[in-house]
Amino acid sequence: MRVSCLIFLLPLFASFGVAQPTDLRGIVADSASGERLPFASVQIMSLNLGGSTNFNGFYLLTNVPPGTYEVAASSIGYLGQTRRVTVRPGVSTVLNFELSARPVEFSEVVVTERARRELSEINTSVHVMDVAQMRSIPSVMQPDVFRAIQILPGVVSSSDVNTHFYVRGGAGDQNLIMLDGMKIFNPFHAFGIFSLFDPDIIKTTEVYTGAFPAGFGGRLSSVVSMLTRDGNRKEYAAKAEASLASSKLQVEGPIYGATRFLASARVSTFSNVLDRVLRKDLPLSFYDAFVKITGEDLVEHSRYGFTGFFSGDDLRSRSSADPDYVWRNYAVGFNGGGLINERLFFDVVAYENMFEASRRPRNSSSTPTRTKIRETGVRTQATKYTDSKDLFFVGFEFSFPSVDYEVVNLAGIPRSVYSTFVDFWTWIRYQAKVGPWQVDGGVHLDAGSIFQRSVGLEAVEPRLNVSLLLAPQWKWKASYGRFSQHLITVNNEDDVIPIFDAWIEVPREIGSQRADHYVTGFEGNPWAELSVSVQSYYKHYRALVTYNRDKVEAEDPDYVKGRGRAYGLETLVRVGRPGWDLYATHTLGWTTVTNGAATYPPRHDRRHSVNLLGIARLEPFEFTARWEFGSGFPFTPSIGYYDRLTYEDLFERPIGEQPSEPYLRLGEKNVRRLPVYHRLDLGAHYRFSVGRLRGSLGVQIANVYDRANVFYVDRATGRVITMLPFFPSITLTAEY
Amino acid sequence: MLRPMHIALRGALAVIAFMSVACETAFDPEGTFEDRIVLFGLLTPGSDSVQLRLQATYDPPTPDPLSYAGGPDLTGATGRLFWERGAQANLRDTVVPHPDSGRYPTGLHLLTAPVRVVRGVEYTVRVEVPGFAPVEAMATVPGSAPIYFLNEDLLRQPFGHPADRLGIIVGLAPEAEGFIPRVEVEYEVISQGNRIERREVPSSMSVTVSGTVPVYPKIRGASSRRSSGSSTIELYEYEAKAYRFLVQELHETYGSPNLRFRRAILTVRTFDRHLYTYYFLVNGFFDQYTVRTDRPDYSNVRGGVGVVGAFAVDSVVVALPPVL
């Protein structure tokens, strides 16, 4: 079946291969490292003609009239560059740029948002973050990709101690996490305390908080697509960093010709430090490692390489009365991309990923548990540059997930849930600009479900993004998308810290989880220093996996189809001036899940979320402040106990002699709210250089005013567990 | 005119100050304690009285529920039992030793009425205790269940009969939601003084790492969900080898010359919907395949907590030859 699908699609791609002359194309790269720059802008000023680079740093301007032009290239964090080029008739002209980096000014991100890539102008719910932005955000002990994402509107963090996040009311397993096109199923170190990804290996992170375009699928809520750096093509470089949480070494450089490598490894520094963060007596050690080898051809614009990512966590409890936990992750992939015809750019990645976690009970009362998911697949996309400067995409993803969950159930019986199936997604997408209108529409087809789940029209997932330029400074946008998901986690949704993300296939009788997204809003720059975005969203969950509350017998299914909805309003304001930046977001949201006759807010439903971020630069210092506010999460209150008869010996004993055990009575599900959450973090960084050695010394203080934010209440002890207390930490970075 | 930067800064500080102070609320992790009557009852025609176990919900002084001791004050409890055509009986409050006398030294309240319940009849109990909201529960005693062995010859000739299954037919009355069969073999041991004993026949044998072990019948529901008022005929099958295993084991235990088989007794207990549902829920659905780890609750006591359910027992006897 695999081969037949490829055979089916190849002629489709090849049909695009009609030679078109008089084009201008090339690569935009970093002058120091040769790193290709995605989302860079390339403009022929005199023709008012331009475009932006793709993930490979490649751009192509079609039907450029013959002549000599000044062409300008620019990218966030780089000095712009203008080059003269002569375009001859009937010939495609190649013009590559190498831009010099300059100190990042956050204000540029703020006020030149319109200069971002074309895509972000059309889509309603997309955010692009680079390393500099991530490092600017105050963090606990070490910078973190996912912690940075949580300042975005619509994204709710679950707690201080973990980086799990919920997007626009969606559950944690509804976020698609991708690293260079490879899916990562558990992107967190133990307890979610940090994400697996070292920010310094990430070139760009693209976050779709909803209504994502065709090309992404398999999840209901969001996409976090991370693109890693290729490494330095011109010289060797090394970077070391030490913080209380982890120590890191990163090396990169050329191998041979245009081939380069990047290798990075982090290991936990002091396992005891994490006790204080987790508020538990748990010695946790972890590591993660990343290696990437990339080759390229600047003339043909092609790029190819290998990416490997590995991580592990070990929690060896000090007391034998507590269980041990082990987590392992890896993802490896071969990728390639290039211009295979005059106007046809091709990207492909073949990958395998694996996540495995296990619990060893030792002398504790817990039971042995293990979860494992492994997926092998190939993902490819072709981009067709058209005469009219519109873009046409077609692609597919073909994968073989296998999931295995072993658990000892309530009956004390070891149970294994194993399934393997074929995921086959294909999509077609078109981007066009007509006057003040821009349209990005397409269809994402869940072809695998047509055969395996007997799905009909539901397999067709339309996606549409529209934007209208209302005035030079204001844009109206609207999006719609339909989404489905076949894999879910089966954690108890009331777990405060999901230690175990056990994945299973959505029960076949339910089919798939399904949702529709509707988003609309305005964006604009009323002043040069101010940018504003207001968006409203509505998500309709047509099918969600929920507990079967009517289950009585073994024959009754564990799960049934529920439904839900989420809606809200997001506001984002950015004010930027040289040396100063302020970033503010507010999200007002409602989320409910309906299971049979019961409708309740899920545990991550948050009415108000506010994020304020301020950055001040006074070279060589940078000062940051972040304040986060969230209204309380729901919880189910306890309303007393009663002695419940167990009827162990129903027939032999009269009712007065039947044994009983205390049973906790719970009130209406999630009817109450925890207190509001708020926290102020401050950070200061001092940058220095000694010869060729550059470095920075950072000091961060989390929870400056020592707010006792309630994490959860331990029903067994009645103890109120609070989150991170006043917590100072330091980071030292040296780069050569 | 203030510059945008200053406006933004002041705005941000104002937001922080306002939200930090104004949104603060008192926090109590516990909801309002619900003081409720807890009522458990098993109505069965096999008993010459109706007994209801009367307790109350409690709010322990510490998070450990076992720290609650002594029991609630249920003085003055009154109850009545109603059934068809206006018949009723008073439930008398008595106090008996609590099974957990260490925790509840003052005893356990039982509401008792000298009534033998009748099959197929719906009963309503109403209980009032000063200081508590009154409670009411209804249960219908399952009607008669015609039961018989499908091939009782197998019982008489375990080693000569070709069948590999022993079939049991159970007619489930409309009021019954589920049933459990039990087959016992009665025999006489004639060494060291005669005595009569019974052993339950396993329904199947299971091979485990520790050897072959007997498996006994489990409660089973009606084979199909029924609309109210309809009966079903259910087939429950025993493995013949399980019966042979038991007979063989008895021979080995006592020696064949010392063993005289007397009879096989089939007992079928049928459950009403409330007792059936509750029994499954408190026992983790009896589902060996589930991955759920929650333990839901169930009650049919309006205004209170607990379950008043009903079951009935039917039996047939098959005479066995002295030697099998």
User: For A180-194, A391-405, B178-192, B260-274, which range has the lowest pLDDT when averaged over its residues?
Assistant: A180-194
Residue A554, pLDDT score: 72
| Most A CBs within 10 Å, among B292, B300, B311, B313, to test the A interface | B292
Of the candidates A492, A637, A662, which has its C-beta nearest B65's C-beta?
A662
Q: Say if B305 is an interface residue toward chain A (CB within 8 Å).
A: yes
Residue pLDDT, tens place only, B205-256: 988 777 888 999 988 888 765 555 678 889 999 999 999 999 999 999 999 9
For residue A553, the chain B residue with the least C-alpha distance is B285
Q: Say if B9 is an interface residue toward chain A (CB within 8 Å).
A: yes
Do the Cβ atoms of B4 and A527 come within 8 Å? yes
CB atoms within 10 A of CB A70: 12
Residue A694, pLDDT score: 86
For residue B66, the chain A residue with the least C-alpha distance is A662
For residue A18, CA distances in Å to A14, A300, A340, A344, A385 come to 9, 17, 11, 9, 11
Domain ranges of chain A: 2-99, 106-227, 228-636+671-735
Residues of A in contact with B139 (CB under 8 A): none
Residue A121, pLDDT score: 63
For residue A528, the chain B residue with the least C-alpha distance is B4
Contact A582, B11 (CB under 8 A): no
Residues of B in contact with A403 (CB under 8 A): none
Contact A196, A246 (CB under 8 A): no
Partnered with residue A534 across adjacent β-strands are A522, A571
Q: What is the ipTM of this complex?
A: 0.85
Per CATH, is B37-140 categorized as 2.60.40.10? Answer: yes
| Most A CBs within 10 Å, among B25, B30, B270, to test the A interface | B30
Residues of B in contact with A107 (CB under 8 A): none
Contact A537, A518 (CB under 8 A): yes
Residue A275, pLDDT score: 67
| Most B CBs within 10 Å, among A110, A410, A706, to test the B interface | A410
Phi and psi at residue A723, in whole multiples of 5°? -85, -155
Question: Rounded to a whole number, what is the distance in Å from the CA of A652 to chain B's nearest CA?
Answer: 12
Q: Which residue type occupies A536?
A: S
Contact A193, A161 (CB under 8 A): yes
Of the candidates B12, B27, B110, which has its C-beta nearest A710's C-beta?
B27
Residues of B in contact with A714 (CB under 8 A): 63
| CATH code at A2-99 | 2.60.40.1120
Do the Cβ atoms of B8 and A713 come within 8 Å? no
Do the Cβ atoms of A639 and B19 come within 8 Å? no
Of the candidates B5, B29, B55, which has its C-beta nearest A642's C-beta?
B55
Question: Rounded to a whole number, what is the distance in Å from the CA of A54 to chain B's nearest CA?
Answer: 34
Residues of B in contact with A676 (CB under 8 A): 19, 23-25
Contact A647, A658 (CB under 8 A): yes
Helix, strand, coil shares of chain A, percent, nearest 5, are 10, 55, 35
Residue A139, pLDDT score: 66
For residue A126, CA distances in Å to A152, A269, A430, A435 come to 10, 35, 17, 22
B74 contact partners, CB below 8 Å, separation of at least 6: B54, B55, B56, B93, B109, B129
Domain ranges of chain B: 37-140, 147-272+311-319
Contact A164, A498 (CB under 8 A): yes
Residues of A in contact with B291 (CB under 8 A): 405, 407, 409, 415, 417, 490, 504, 558
Q: Cis peptide before B65, with omega less than 30 degrees from 0? A: no
Question: Rounded to a whole number, what is the distance in Å from the CA of B261 to chain A's nearest CA?
Answer: 25
Element spanning A11, H or E: helix A2-14
In whole angstroms, give the CA distance from residue B299 to residue B306: 5
104-123 of B, contacting A, C-beta below 8 A: 108, 110
Residues of B in contact with A529 (CB under 8 A): 4-5
Q: Say if B276 is an interface residue toward chain A (CB within 8 Å).
A: yes
Q: Is A111 helix (H, G, I), strand (E, B) or coil?
A: helix
Do the Cβ atoms of A644 and B57 come within 8 Å? no
Contact A566, A539 (CB under 8 A): yes
| CATH code at A228-636+671-735 | 2.40.170.20
Partnered with residue B58 across adjacent β-strands are A641
Q: Say if B52 is an interface residue toward chain A (CB within 8 Å).
A: yes
Residues of B in contact with A659 (CB under 8 A): 99-100
In whole angstroms, give the CA distance from residue A71 to residue A83: 5
Question: Rounded to a whole number, what is the distance in Å from the CA of B58 to chain A's nearest CA?
Answer: 5
Do the Cβ atoms of A655 and B51 come within 8 Å? yes
Phi and psi at residue A89, in whole multiples of 5°? -65, 140
Q: Is B151 helix (H, G, I), strand (E, B) or coil?
A: coil
Q: Which CATH number fits domain A106-227: 3.40.47.10, 3.10.310.10, 3.40.50.720, 2.170.130.10?
A: 2.170.130.10
Residue A81: both structure tokens together: 């560059």
Residues of B in contact with A662 (CB under 8 A): 65-66, 68
199-238 of B, contacting A, C-beta below 8 A: 221
Do the Cβ atoms of B9 and A667 come within 8 Å? no
Q: Consecutive 10-residue runs of chain A (736 residues): their mean pLDDT?
A: 43 47 86 87 86 88 90 87 90 90 51 40 77 69 81 84 82 92 86 80 90 92 93 90 86 90 89 64 83 88 92 82 86 92 91 92 80 94 86 94 85 80 94 89 93 85 93 89 92 58 86 94 84 94 88 80 96 84 92 93 92 87 90 89 86 86 89 89 88 86 86 75 81 84
Residues of A in contact with B108 (CB under 8 A): 656
| Most A CBs within 10 Å, among B2, B3, B5, B219, to test the A interface | B5
Residues of A in contact with B57 (CB under 8 A): 640-642, 665
Do the Cβ atoms of B4 and A663 come within 8 Å? no
CB atoms within 10 A of CB B71: 19
Q: Which residue type occupies A361?
A: P
Contact A148, A264 (CB under 8 A): no
Phi and psi at residue A148, in whole multiples of 5°? -70, -40
Do the Cβ atoms of A558 and B292 come within 8 Å? yes
Question: Rounded to a whole number, what is the distance in Å from the CA of A673 to chain B's nearest CA?
Answer: 9
Closest to A425 measured CA to CA, from A391, A390, A385, A463: A463
For residue A712, the chain B residue with the least C-alpha distance is B29
Q: Say if B36 is an interface residue toward chain A (CB within 8 Å).
A: yes
Of the candidates B4, B35, B276, which has its C-beta nearest A530's C-beta?
B4
Do the Cβ atoms of A580 and B5 come within 8 Å? yes
Q: How many cross-chain Cβ pairs, A to B, lie less than 8 Å apart? A: 204
In whole angstroms, give the CA distance from residue A286 to residue A327: 9
In whole angstroms, give the CA distance from residue B81 to residue B126: 7
Residues of B in contact with A665 (CB under 8 A): 34, 57, 297, 305
Q: Which residue type occupies A127?
A: H
Contact B324, B56 (CB under 8 A): no
For residue A548, the chain B residue with the least C-alpha distance is B292
